[in-house]
Structure 1
Amino acid sequence: MTKHRFSQHALSEWMKDEGPESEIVISSRVRVARNLSNQPFPMLASDQQSKDVMDQLTWVSQAGKLKEMGAFETIVLSDLSELDKRVLVEKHLISPNLANESRSGAVILSNNESVSIMINEEDHLRIQCLYPGFQIKEAWTLANGIDDIFEEAVDYAFDEKRGYLTTCPTNVGTGIRASVMMHLPALVLTSQINRILSAVTQVGLAVRGLYGEGSEALGNLFQVSNQITLGQSENEIIDNLYSVARQIIEHEKAARKRLLDESRIRTEDRVKRSYGILSYASIMDSKEAAQRLSDVRLGADLGILPEVSPQVLNELLVMTQPGFLQQTFNEKMSPEQRDYRRAELIRKQLRGEKGHGGVEI
């Protein structure tokens, strides 16, 4: 088994399953931030201290109960090329911060890539669990179980009053970030999205784009997550996110019904125009690709394009990113070359053609 296999395929194994409400919720994620009590936080640690942390945490993953949960592989970031690291970021398996870490950064990945345990990121330990569809409670149960395994083996930095201590003050307390990635095209098309998102922020949740804080909501994809980590229990945080996300799902369903009831022809025209452009365009920048793919995904979910698989569109979300494009075609590209290759890849994928080396792309 090679470490490069994690950057070879756009679709992680866990993404091939359809979870509850998968026509709207792409994925559910829980991330737990922890630090060791006997070591400085990563930003203050020496090279040797960072290495000691990596050695200690990887030992726990290899010798402890984690092995009972399945097969895991440890990847030291310094062993990867810059392109490999970029692809792992595009697949949400590591953070941009960890990709830039030059001192003893590592990630422990499960075979199906649903579990990603980052070492020496902003914090010593970041446990991330991903599930398809609307399964935020299931993701928390898994993350909590893995957290317990590490907590039995190492001493966490913990304060009786403040809870788990983290590098960033906004994570102090429970140290958890829970989020759902939602595809909300109908709320955008019916001009309800700003009202909905404004209400979401008023109940203590944050709304971000595909790649988290500071990223744009391309392709009508919105990441809804908790902002508060201190003063609430883990279950309260999860329950609050679940309740709000459930309401957003119902609003999106109502908006989709409204599009079909009141603007069916216009909606079908938009969807089919985007499908036609994606099928025949010679160049395509990332922003347009995301929007056109969002239209086609909506058409597939509404039965306008029943021949298009939502799984294909999920895969294209990763495959059309700059890093994966260069990985797929094995060449360094200028922005213009990426736009050309992106269009080529989308055309082939929608037609079910074979890509480079006879591999389905």
Structure 2
Amino acid sequence: MPQPFPEIKSSHSLVAKHVTKEKWDKLSDIVTKTSGFTLAKAIACAVEFDNQHCGIYAGDEDSYIDFADVFDPLICEYHGLKPDFKHVSDMDSSKLQGNVNPEVPVHSVRIRVGRSIQGYGLSPGITKEQRVGVEELFKNACKKFSGDLSGQYFALTGMDEKVRQQLVDDHFLFMSGDPNLKVAGMERDWPEGRGIFHNEAKTFLVWVNEEDQLRIISMQKGGDVKGVFERLARGIQAVGESVKAESGKDFILSEKFGYVHSCPTNLGTGMRASVHVDLPGWTKEGVDLLKKRCEELKVQPRGTRGESGGQTGHTYDISNKHRLGYSEVELVQTMIDGVNTLYKEDVELQKKHGM
């Protein structure tokens, strides 16, 4: 017997559109092989909250296959892609044309990707044993990093308070308590099996078992986007090769969806390339107009406190808008070009407003 059809509180979400009663009756009894995930667990956020845009997470790679009737059309709609698309990955930093111009007031650059390892569940569905297994695997793998990538792993369980406070002050440490991650099942058994790695210079980081099994991050002060991307490419390669040497396992890479993530909005590159940049002219002109202009340039503006942290002053976090259907090089290029354009226009707007 199919489960009773749930009441979806986020009535304007993509889940509400794509999880019809007919699809629910067909799929609701399926339990995935890797981590015992169900469609009910996948759509928990859309059922619990009324503010979701997407509202669905995958519990393992099988979720995208077993619940394809829901995931496939939802992914195409979110990413604006045709059903026959295929994702192409390209991390070759030498293909980037130019960089953020030296006069642009960029505070810092941060580029991150997510990666998942074959045979383990994704964070919403991962079993306790699998989560600890991912951490053990990474703990051993990261000892093989060399040169400017070498550093230290800090497990969240039993972390020294001084170390914890330092990581918080550096804005490196991820916290528990995000209501979406909780309802989606990503904070089960907190903080076990989770931790953070960083290199000596604190410019290369890996988060273990937060929203994705691995979040690989390259960051530094100033505006050298190309340099940050080049380090990220080396870092991803080092993580991949070390994990493979340790376990014989590769990252999960789907021919269609690229790199597989728990959140379908991150499929493909799983990459967010961003800078913190001052745009006082655009602030004066109006944030809504800035958002509209960013849409045209295929970038996204946020406040510097993250997705839901709001805007303070005239510093913005500008990042690539797309993840899937474009290569990493294309997305970083779009972000560089977008930031250069926004700043050029900002100078004109400052004149216009007599600043």
Q: Is the 8 A contact 2:267 2:323 kept in 1?
A: yes
Offset, 1:103? 2.2
**How far has the Cα of 1:148 moved from its partner?**
0.9
> CA 1:79–1:186 in 2, change beyond 3 Å: closer, same or farther?
farther
Corresponding residue for residue 174 of structure 1: 269
Give the conservation status (yes or no) of the 8 Å contact 1:184–1:221. yes
The alpha carbon displacement at 1:22 in A equals: 7.3
Give the aligned residue type for 1:138.
Answer: G
Q: Secondary structure at the match of 1:148?
A: helix
Q: Which amino acid aligns with 1:237?
A: L
CA distance in 1, matches of 2:301, 2:237: 29
SS of the counterpart of 1:243? helix
Q: Which runs of 5+ in 1 are unaligned?
A: 1-18, 264-361
Give yes or no for contact 2:148–2:200 (8 Å, CA) kept in 1: no
* Structure that is richer in helix per residue: 1
Cα distance per residue 1:73-102 (max 9 Å; x no partner): 111112337896576345331334599741
Q: Distance in 1 between matches of 2:216 and 2:127?
A: 23
Q: Distance in 2 between matches of 1:103 and 1:126?
A: 17
Letter in 1 for 2:307: E
Taking the aligned partners of 1:113 and 1:94, their CA distance within structure 2 comes to 12
Q: Which amino acid aligns with 1:171?
A: N
* Secondary structure, aligned partner of 1:228: coil
**What amino acid sits opposite 1:242 in the alignment?**
I
SS where residue 331 of structure 2 aligns?
helix
Matched, 1:226 2:307: no
| Aligned residue among 211, 220, 224 for 2:305 | 211
Distance 1:204 1:103 in 2: 38
TM-score (norm 1): 0.60
Alignment partner of 1:88 out of 155, 158, 167: 167
In 1, are the aligned partners of 2:143 and 2:150 still within 8 Å (CA)?
no
Aligned to 2:156: 77
Alpha-carbon distance change, 93 to 22 in structure 1, aligned in 2, over 3 angstroms: farther
Cα 1:97/1:253, change in 2 over 3 Å: farther
What corresponds to 2:114 in structure 1? 33
Sort the Cα spacing of 1:25 and 1:112 in 2 relative to 1 into closer, same or farther, 3 A: same
Match of 1:253 in 2: 347
Structure 2: unaligned runs, 5 residues or longer: 1-99, 179-186, 245-249
Verify the 8 A CA contact 2:268 2:325 in the aligned structure 1: yes
Q: How far does residue 119 in structure 1 lie from its aligned partner after superposition? A: 0.6
TM-score relative to the length of structure 2: 0.61
Contact 1:22 1:133 in 2 (8 A): no
Question: How far apart, in 2, do the equivalents of 1:82 and 1:213 lie?
Answer: 27
Alignment of 1:260-275 (within 5 A): 262=354
Q: 1:235 aligns with which of 316, 319, 329?
A: 329
Secondary structure class of the residue paired with 2:108: strand
| 2:131 is equivalent to residue 42 of structure 1 | no
Task: Look up the match of 2:232.
Answer: 143
Superposition deviation, residue 59 in structure 1: 1.1
Task: Look up the match of 1:349.
Answer: none
Superposition RMSD in Å: 2.6
- Quote the Cα distance in structure 1 between the aligned partners of 2:336 and 2:273: 10
Partner residue, 1:187: 282
Amino acid at match of 2:210: E
Q: Cα 1:68–1:232, aligned 2, differ >3 Å: closer, same or farther?
A: same
* Paired residues of 2:149 and 2:204 also in contact (CA < 8 A): no
- The 8 Å contact of residues 172 and 229 in structure 1, kept in 2 or not, is answered as yes
Q: Distance in 1 between matches of 2:168 and 2:270?
A: 21
Compared CA separation, residues 233 and 123, structure 1 to 2 (3 A): same
